[in-house]
């Protein structure tokens, strides 16, 4: 199977599974939100921040390096496995050692959750599961990945909801996180052709040095800055504004990211594809326009619906106790749109070996969070945090594209203009709807349905009218790539 067909096939499987995952995640999160108090979500978010901070030393991007490496033999795989396990075990030990220090400042439930998250990290994609999962991703075996994701999320939600229903509180969320590490780990060890055997393990110092030299330091810097971008607000809100407000922010943040599964999976498929065509600028340009254009169009639609439907969705699905998250969801729209775009553009820097430039932009983003965000949270609490994290992401997207345009041609007008016009029409319809008060006398359920159909429909109809021919051509291209006799293999 050609690279293009494998990439498209992987995207299709991941996208279909992601739609199912969204439904499962949607139902599961609503159930947990109704069963658990906002404070519990705040505790888990703060504990997760502390572990993400402690685990930074093990995140040198060895998985990305293994995907990027063209010649991979048994010694390379063994060296990767030993490196990842060594770093992971060290981090778990370090977490146990510093837990008494956290007790000096934070509640025992935060520390207990922190230790549990650290223990389950042994089985995550940087631990025992790292080599197996990375080899699956390198070979674009996304059908198996999709099935494993569906099974692990479903089982994790079912068990977590049962524990929450029977009053186990925070334990239910700990199990939910842990099972999402444990189940995939066991699955990939079963289905992956590579098998762990002590007798065949080989550690090559030169290969280990290569993993570190393969822009490992820069990838680590990118990871640290991404960590600040993703979770530093959790620490600030939990420390300065309280666990309850952090619970509202955490739920809003999760909701803002919930519809982005298919988008993230497109990025997941794009990186190995970019890596394989990294020496052909024309193919890279075509692939970038296609992937980024798709992300923009889907991202604008998601942002429109999140902003316009947040109030009714929260009240109908989660109840009035979560009303404090409504405005935060709307303010996080900029982040929910910009983050996958930031990651997608970053993946092409990785594939081109331009990790140093990517790390510089990440440093700018991280320093903005580190220096400016504390003051923002102190004065404006969670609302300021939600707005500022979105602005930082958008700044990164702009800077990355300014750098990238010197590598190959980027058709900004083709990528951005039509979806921008479409979302303007969608927001105009929203303003008219709110101005004339058409929701008066209607239930929240009815208003929610009307908003989804009306605003989403206006956006999609406008987009179709502006570029119907191009959309049809792209559909035909995808169809030909997935057929038995693809007609455009030479382009990708």
Q: Could you read off the pLDDT of 124-179 as tens digits, one per residue?
A: 988 888 888 888 877 767 778 888 888 999 999 999 999 999 999 999 999 999 99
Q: Give me the chain's average pLDDT, please.
A: 82
Mean pLDDT, rounded, for 260-275: 60
What would the DSSP string read from start to end of 118-184? HHHGGGSTTTTTHHHHHHHHHTT-HHHHHHHHHHHHHHHHHHHHHHHHTT-THHHHHHHHHHHHHHH
Mean pLDDT, rounded, for 408-435: 87
Predicted structure pTM score: 0.77
In degrees to the nearest 10, what's the CA dihedral of 118, 123, 126, 131? 160
Backbone angles phi, psi at 180, to 5 degrees: -70, -15
Residue 22 to residue 30: CA distance in whole angstroms: 12
pLDDT at 300: 87
Residue with tokens 């159909």: 453
Decide which of 214 and 240 is more confident.
240
At a CB cut-off of 8 Å and minimum separation 6, what does 127 contact?
A: 84, 85, 88, 121, 181, 185
Q: Could you read off the pLDDT of 303-331 as tens digits, one per residue?
A: 889 899 999 999 998 888 999 999 999 99
Q: Could you read off the pLDDT of 181-220 as tens digits, one per residue?
A: 999 999 988 887 777 677 677 888 888 887 777 655 666 7
Mean pLDDT, rounded, for 259-275: 59
């Amino acid at each position: 199977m050609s690279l293009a067909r494998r990439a498209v096939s992987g995207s299709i499987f991941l996208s279909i599974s992601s739609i199912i995952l969204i439904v499962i995640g949607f139902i599961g999160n609503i159930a947990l939100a109704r069963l658990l108090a906002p404070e519990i979500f705040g505790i888990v978010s703060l504990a997760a921040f502390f572990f993400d901070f402690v685990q930074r030393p093990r995140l040198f991007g060895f998985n990305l390096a293994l995907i990027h490496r063209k010649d991979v033999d048994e010694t390379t795989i063994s060296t990767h496995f030993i490196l990842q396990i060594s770093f992971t075990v060290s981090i778990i030990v370090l977490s146990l050692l510093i837990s008494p220090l956290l007790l000096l400042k934070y509640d025992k439930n935060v520390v207990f959750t922190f230790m549990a998250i650290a223990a389950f990290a042994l089985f995550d994609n940087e631990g025992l599961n790292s080599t197996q999962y990375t080899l699956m991703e390198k070979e674009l075996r996304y059908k198996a990945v999709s099935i494993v994701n569906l099974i692990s999320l479903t089982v994790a939600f079912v068990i977590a909801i049962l524990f929450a229903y029977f009053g186990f509180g925070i334990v239910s969320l700990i199990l939910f996180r842990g099972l999402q590490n444990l189940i995939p780990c066991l699955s990939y060890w079963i289905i992956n052709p590579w098998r762990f055997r002590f007798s065949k393990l080989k550690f090559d110092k030169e290969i280990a040095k290569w993993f570190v030299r393969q822009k490992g330091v820069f990838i680590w810097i990118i990871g640290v800055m991404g960590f600040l971008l993703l979770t530093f607000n959790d620490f600030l809100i939990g420390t300065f504004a309280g666990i309850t407000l952090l619970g509202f922010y955490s739920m809003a943040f999760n909701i803002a990211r919930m519809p982005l599964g298919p988008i993230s999976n497109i990025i997941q498929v794009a990186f190995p594809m970019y890596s394989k065509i990294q020496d052909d600028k024309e193919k890279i340009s075509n692939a970038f326009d296609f992937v980024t254009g798709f992300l923009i169009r889907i991202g604008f639609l998601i942002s429109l619906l999140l902003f316009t439907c947040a109030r009714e969705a929260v009240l109908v699905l989660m109840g009035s106790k979560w009303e404090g998250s409504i405005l935060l969801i709307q303010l996080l729209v900029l982040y929910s749109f910009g983050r996958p775009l930031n990651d997608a553009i970053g993946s092409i820097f990785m594939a081109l070996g331009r990790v140093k430039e990517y790390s510089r932009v990440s440093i700018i983003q991280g320093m903005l969070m580190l220096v400016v965000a504390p003051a923002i949270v102190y004065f404006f609490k969670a609302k300021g945090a939600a707005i500022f994290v979105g602005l930082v992401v958008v700044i990164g997207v702009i800077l990355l594209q300014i750098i990238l345009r010197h590598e190959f041609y980027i058709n900004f007008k083709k990528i951005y203009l039509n979806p921008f016009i479409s979302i303007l029409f969608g927001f105009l319809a929203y303003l008219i709807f709110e101005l004339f008060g058409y929701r008066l006398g209607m239930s929240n359920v009815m208003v929610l349905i009307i908003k989804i159909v009306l605003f989403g429909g206006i956006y999609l109809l406008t987009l179709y009218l502006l570029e119907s021919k191009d959309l049809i051509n792209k559909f035909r291209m995808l169809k030909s790539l997935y057929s038995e006799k693809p007609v455009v293999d030479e382009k990708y």
